[in-house]
Amino acid sequence: FGGRETDTSSCLAFAPQSRRSRKTRSDWQVRNKDDFIKLEPYAVPCGVSWMKSNPTRWEGYAFYTSELAIEKCLTVTYKMNAQPVLAFVGGLQFDVMPGPLASVDAQVCWPIGNPDGMDLTQLKTVIRSCGVTLFSRTLRLSKRFGSSTDFDGKNTYGSTATWIRTANPRESMSRTKLLETNSSVHPEDLASVNASKVQLEWEAPVEDLYLASLDLGPDLGLKTRFELRSEAAARRLKGERVKGEAGDAEEEEGLLGLSSSGSSSLFQLFSFKHPGNINFELKGLLEGNSLELGMRMGFGPFKSEEKRLKLVDIVDQFAVTLNALPFVSSKSKEKALDALRSFSTNYVPPTVLEPGTMVALYNKQHERYIRASDRRRGRDLGSTSRMKARDLRTTWDREYFTVVDAGNGEVAFHNPRFNRFIRMQSKTNMDMSGDRALLPSGWRHERFTPVNAGNGEIALYCRAHRRFVQMRWHGVMTTKNQDLDADDLSPSWKFERFTVVQGHPYFYLEPGSVVAFRCHKFHRFMRMNEHADMSRSNIHGAYKPSSRRSYTYFTVVDAGGGLIALHSAKYNRFVSMRSDGKMRASSTKSAHELPDSWASERFAVVPGGNDQIALHNPWRNRFISMTPSDIVVSGTKKAQDLPGGWSWQRFKVYLVSSPSSASSYTGAFQGAGSN
C-alpha cells in the first residue's frame, strides 16, 4: 500500500467452486481421472491454533503455504564466556557453566538481485545467554517499492521480541481491523503523506509487552526471577522506575539492573551468582546499543565494587559487518546506522487501540485523566484532579471507556457507566453523546482517528470537524482552535497528547475468560440447565471453582461494538433474553459461531458499584434479574438508569479461568471476585 511492504495477516486457501453448502469429500472428486476441479481462492486466518478451534469453518478447504526467498542475509556472531575453574594436580580443567554466557548476533539482509540499486532491507540484533534468546530488535525497510526507498527512519519499521514472545519483522495490518495508531490516513493516501512527519513504529501492542531477567543459579538451573507486563513494561521501556510484582526494594533493583550509576535506561538481561567463601556475581546489562558485563567479586564477607566491562557496541558491530559487504554503498551504510541509533534511543512501544478493550486517557502535561462528568447525568466531559498515571483505580467507572471500532480507521470511546460516547459536539465543544449502547452509523462527531504522537502517546482527530481533542489548563476538555489535517500534529503540542492506559476495572469482562455470576442478594449463582433454560443454583458459600459446577460457568465472547455474549461450554449454548420477556438458552452454537444477526444474546456490562455488575440488553432495554425462584427479565430500564436499590440485577463476577492467549490480562478481575 503506497509502496510499503505490508503483511496482510491472512493466508491462502482454496475450495472447489462448485461445492455444496454441506462440504463433503466428493467436492474434491471428479468423474473422470483426467478432469480438473475449478477452485476459488480465499484469504483466511493463519495458524494451526485457529484451525484447531474452528474445524467446521475450514472444512473442505485446502491451505496453501510456501516460503518465498526474496532476501539474502549475513549474520555475524560475537560470543563471550566466563568460567569458574576447578584445577587439579593432574592438569585437568572442568567448565561448570553452560556457554556462551553472552552472544550477540548482527544480521544484515539485502534483496536478491539488488533491484534498482537497493542494497539493504533489514538489520536484526539477537542477544542470548546460554542459548536462550532474551531480547531481539529488528529494523526492517518497509518502504521498498517506488521512489525514495532509502534505509532511514521514515521508511523503516521496528519490532522487538523476548524469549517468551516472537515478533513479526514485517509491518503488518490486523486481519480483524484492530485499530493500531500507526496510521493517521487511509492506506491509499500513504503515498501523499509528508514523509518527514511519519514516526518510527513498533510492532508490539502495549498489553502484550513482556520483559524478563534470566537467572542462572549455582545448580545451573535457568529461571526468570523478575518480570513486567503490559503498562508496567511500557513504563519501564520509557525509562520510568517501576516495582516488580512483589514490590520490594530488592526486586525493584534486580529488575531494573541498576548499578552504582543509577541509570534508569538500563536493562538487566541475565545474572549469575555463585555463593561461598569465594563468591562472584555476573550480570548482562543492555543500555541503549551497548551490551556490558557487570562483575562483582567477593572473599568471605568482603566484596568488591561492581565493575562494568563493555562487551560490544551493537552499532559498531553492524558497522563492521556492513563494511565487509562491498556492494553496500557508503550512503546506505550511513543511513542504516543512523536509523539504528535512532531506533535504540526512541525505544518506546506504540499505542494500540483494540476494539472491546477498556482504556483510560491520560494527559501528562496536566497530569489528569479524561472523565465523564456526573453533571447532567453524564452529558458533560471533564477530567480528574491532578494525579500520577499509576493512581488510576479499578473501582472507578467514569474514567474508563470501551474502545469501539467505528470503521475506516476510526474509533469511538463508550463509557459504560453513563452509556454514552465521547463526542466533539462542535468545533469548540467536547461533551458526551446521547445515551446509546451501540454507535449509530450516522453519528460522525463520536468518531476519532488515533494519530501516533510519539513517545507512546496518541492524539485524537475528528474528521467531521477537522480538529484535535485538547485538554487545557485546569483539565478543561475542548478542541484545538484551528482546522487541520490528521498529519498536522506539531511535536511541540502537549495539550493534544494522551497516554492510553489499558484499563482493568472490576466491570471489565475480558473476552475468552470463563466467569461465574453470583447474586449477593440471594447467595446463588446464575446457571444454565439441561432444558435450555436459565435458572439459579443452590445456595453457595465461599466460591470455589469445581468441575461439578460447570453449569454456572460462562465463556465471555466479544459480540462487537463493546458488547459481550455469554456461552455455556457444558450445553454449547448462549444466554438469551427473548422477545417474550423470558431468559432462555439459545439454539446449539459454539462460542466461535455467534451470528451477527443475533441481538437477544448480546449484553452491555453496566457497573453496579461495590464490585458488582449488571447485564443489560440494548434491544430489549432490560436487565437480567434473579428473583427468589428464577432468572428473569427486569422491567424496562435504560442501562445508565440502573437504580441504586435494585439488588436482584446485580452480580459479583468470579473468575474461573483467564484466556489462554492473554497472560498480560491476569489482573483484569482485581476487585471483581478474586477472593
Are 291 and 315 in contact by the 8 Å Cβ rule? The answer is no
User: CA 496, CA 492: separation in Å to the nearest integer?
Assistant: 10
Are 230 and 207 in contact by the 8 Å Cβ rule? The answer is yes
29-81 pLDDT, tens digit each: 888 888 898 899 999 888 766 776 777 888 888 888 666 677 889 999 988 88
User: CA 41, CA 320: separation in Å to the nearest integer?
Assistant: 46
Q: Return the minimum-mean-pLDDT range out of 110-114, 115-119, 282-286, 556-560.
A: 115-119
The pLDDT confidence band at residue 547, using thresholds 50, 70 and 90, is low
User: CA 656, CA 546: separation in Å to the nearest integer?
Assistant: 9
Q: Calculate the CA 673 to chain-centre distance.
A: 24
Is the confidence at residue 527, as pLDDT, over 50? yes
Amino acid at site 418: F
With left for phi above 0 and alpha for psi between -120 and 50, is residue 344 left, alpha or beta? alpha
User: CA 302, CA 431: separation in Å to the nearest integer?
Assistant: 65
The residue among 470, 404, 401, 480 whose CA lies nearest residue 443 is: 404
User: CA 516, CA 655: separation in Å to the nearest integer?
Assistant: 7
Once rounded to an integer, what is the mean pLDDT over residues 611-629?
95
Is the confidence at residue 235, as pLDDT, over 60? no
Could you tell me whether strands 307-313 and 290-299 are parallel, antiparallel, or unpaired per DSSP bridges?
Answer: antiparallel
Amino acid at site 87: A
User: CA 648, CA 645: separation in Å to the nearest integer?
Assistant: 9
409-436 pLDDT, tens digit each: 899 999 999 999 999 999 999 999 999 9
Using the structure block, give the residue that is written with the C-alpha cell 495458524.
47
Tell me, what's the pLDDT at 372? 94
**pLDDT above 70 covers what percent of the chain?**
72
What is the three-class DSSP state of 48? Answer: helix
Which H or E run contains 515? strand 514-519
User: CA 371, CA 422: separation in Å to the nearest integer?
Assistant: 10
342 phi/psi in degrees, rounded to 5: -65, -40
Q: What is the mean pLDDT of the chain?
A: 78
Is the confidence at residue 382, as pLDDT, over 90? yes
463-496 pLDDT, tens digit each: 999 999 999 999 999 999 999 999 899 989 999 9
User: CA 674, CA 654: separation in Å to the nearest integer?
Assistant: 6
pTM equals: 0.61
Report the 3 state secondary structure along 398-426. CCCEEEEEEECCEEEEEECCCCEEEEECC
Cβ neighbours of residue 37 closer than 8 Å, sequence gap 6 or more: 16, 28, 30
116 phi/psi in degrees, rounded to 5: 55, 30
Cβ neighbours of residue 404 closer than 8 Å, sequence gap 6 or more: 355, 411, 412, 413, 414, 421, 439, 561, 562
Q: Return the minimum-mean-pLDDT range out of 125-139, 186-200, 223-237, 569-583.
A: 186-200
33 phi/psi in degrees, rounded to 5: -65, -15
Tell me, what's the pLDDT at 348? 54
Which residues does residue 79 pair with via DSSP β-bridges, in sequence order? Answer: 103
Once rounded to an integer, what is the mean pLDDT over residues 573-593?
93
**pLDDT above 90 covers what percent of the chain?**
35
Residue of higher predicted confidence among 246 and 466: 466
Is the confidence at residue 291, as pLDDT, over 70? yes
Q: Which three cell numbers stand for residue 603?
A: 449484553
Is the confidence at residue 82, as pLDDT, over 50? yes
Q: Looking at the chain, which residues constitute the CATH 2.80.10.50 domain(s)?
A: 352-502, 514-665
Are 104 and 63 in contact by the 8 Å Cβ rule? The answer is no
The pLDDT confidence band at residue 287, using thresholds 50, 70 and 90, is confident
Q: Does domain 352-502 have CATH number 3.90.1310.10?
A: no
Q: How far is CA 40 from CA 20, 57, 66, 467, 659, in A?
A: 13, 16, 18, 45, 34
293-311 pLDDT, tens digit each: 888 888 878 888 888 888 8
Using the structure block, give the residue that is written with the C-alpha cell 542477544.
127
User: CA 199, CA 170: separation in Å to the nearest integer?
Assistant: 16
The fold adopted by the segment(s) 514-665 is: Trefoil (Acidic Fibroblast Growth Factor, subunit A) (2.80.10)
User: CA 258, CA 272: separation in Å to the nearest integer?
Assistant: 15
309-317: long-range contacts at Cβ-Cβ below 8 A with a sequence spacing of 24 or more? 311/78, 311/80, 311/102, 311/104, 312/78, 312/104, 313/289, 314/104, 314/106, 314/125, 314/289, 314/290, 314/340, 314/344, 315/289, 315/340, 315/341, 315/344, 317/76, 317/78, 317/104, 317/106
